[in-house]
Amino acid sequence: MLRDIKKMMKYIIKVFLLSIYNRKAGTKIYSTKASLKATYGKGVLIAENSIVTDDVSIGMNSYINKNSSLENCEIGNYCSISSGVYINPFEHDLYKRTTHPFAGGPTEKRNKVKIGHDVLISLNAIVLEGVNIGNGAVIAAGAVVTKDVEPYEIVGGVPSKHIGWRFTEFERNKIMQTNWWFDDIEVLGKNLEYFNCKISDFKTRI
């Protein structure tokens, strides 16, 4: 009973702290499991029940959908992270006598996962330690990403493999040069026509 009251109090305090934080930082953090020691850019949205640990940074206007878990990673601007995504999950040490945590967790620090700008990580994907994902890449639903992903590459499967490219090499390089992800969303919103069309239909304005 006392434990339940304590839990409820903790929850209420966290909701209160989140509302103050959101008002100050221009964020929409709705998950009480998101650390306020993590770094969040303006416009970041963390949906209910997603875990974010202290050692995470998330760039402006990126969003994390429900029931995801982010640890020890850097995420760029304008990234879309779906539900059920796990980034840099805790690893068990396979080379001790037991993998069971009763004997203590792993002693080695996991390498950071680095995710660029405008990356889409689809439902239930897992990104393992030390992986770098380039700008504009797409991770297919259910993928387990064990190796680096190139900018604008589409990967999927377990372990994930190359499925294709979003654009031609020429288009990829052109878009990368624009660095549009550093612009505020208000500025981008005035150029929706530019973002809302297929690149192939709009070659002259890449």
Ligand X SMILES: CC(C)(COP(=O)(O)OP(=O)(O)OC[C@H]1O[C@@H](n2cnc3c(N)ncnc32)[C@H](O)[C@@H]1OP(=O)(O)O)[C@@H](O)C(=O)NCCC(=O)NCCS
- What track of x and - describes contact with ligand X for positions 46 through 85 (by CB under 6 A)? ------------------------------------x---
User: What DSSP designation does 110 have?
Assistant: P
Q: What is the C-alpha to C-alpha distance for residues 170 and 206, in angstroms, rounded to an integer?
A: 10
Q: Which of 36, 123, 176, 199 binds ligand X (CB under 6 A)?
A: 123
Q: Per-residue DSSP letters for 101-135?
A: GGG----SPPPPEEE-SS-EE-TT-EE-TT-EE-T
Site size for ligand X, by CB under 6 A? 12
Q: Which stretch binds ligand X (CB under 6 A): 84-92, 109-117, 133-141, 185-193?
A: 133-141
Closer Cβ to ligand X, 106 or 142, answer by number? 142
The question of whether 162 is a catalytic residue gets the answer no
Q: What is the C-alpha to C-alpha distance for residues 92 and 27, in angstroms, rounded to an integer?
A: 34
3-state secondary structure of 141: coil
Q: Which stretch binds ligand X (CB under 6 A): 38-46, 92-100, 157-165, 187-195?
A: 157-165
Contact 79, 117 (CB under 8 A): yes
Q: Which residues bind ligand X (CB under 6 A)?
A: 82, 122-123, 138, 140-142, 154, 156-157, 163-164
